[in-house]
Amino acid sequence: MFERCRAEGRTAFMPYVTAGYPGASETVPLLLALEAGGADAIELGVPFSDPMADGATIQHANYVAVEQGVSLADCLGFVREARARGLEAPVILMGYYNPILAYGEERAPRDAAAAGADGFIVVDLPPEEAGSFLAACRGADMSFVPLVAPTTTGARVEKLAAAADAFLYCVSVLGTTGQRSELPPELPEFIARVREHTNLPLAVGFGVSTREHVEAVGRIADAAVIGSAIIAAIDAADEAHRAQRVRELVESVTGH
């Protein structure tokens, strides 16, 4: 996917949506709408009761999905159904370690691969503590995507890159996810510093919410991630038009 986008001279776009929000029956149509709008890869949020890296918008989405009992197994079911309905974009399961531990570290990557998912972003699982899960991901041909913060040292970037095989997720700000009016002015320097220590593609998320942000990210990184703005678009639409509204938002960002 990254090679294709690079060959086409454009920034990869990776939207995020929380599985099971606002209702379980809407997740697959939303995934298909994201791809139809021009998503190159999709982050599917696995609901968790304590999403500590997320701001109010995604916290609320997690809360609603958890209240409905949406589990990691349900998330794999959504991916399986979306694939059966023609979804082709890579899907990365994004969330927290507890649901994976409860499901089974060995089972989760194997079952996720069988369902048609492509990798995991586990916000609260640093590579140093991910030994058995990382091995299970390798064994199932599932990507493990570490997060890099603005405070991450060069030596640590090298450790994170050694655990990665697809890309690194660069967190643009110190803080939680959420829409912001401007990207941090120090972002180019941060990305340049990460580049000194790895040749892996770099995705930038947290605080990215507009086409202008995506274009700015594209000048320094390989992919842009938008999450909270997608959830906000779902919230703003009436039930019958949520998938359509999400597709329109993605089209407005990608120019698809």
Output the domain CATH number for residue 231.
3.20.20.70
For 186-207, the pLDDT digits (tens) are 999 999 999 999 999 999 998 8
Residue 25 in this model has a pLDDT that exceeds 70: yes
Active site residues: 43, 54
Query: What is the pLDDT at residue 81?
Result: 98
Instruction: Copy the structure tokens of residue 70.
Output: 């949406």
- Mean pLDDT along residues 126-150: 95
Query: Global pTM?
Result: 0.95
pLDDT at 253: 92
Domain that holds residue 33: 2-254
Number of domains making up the chain: 1
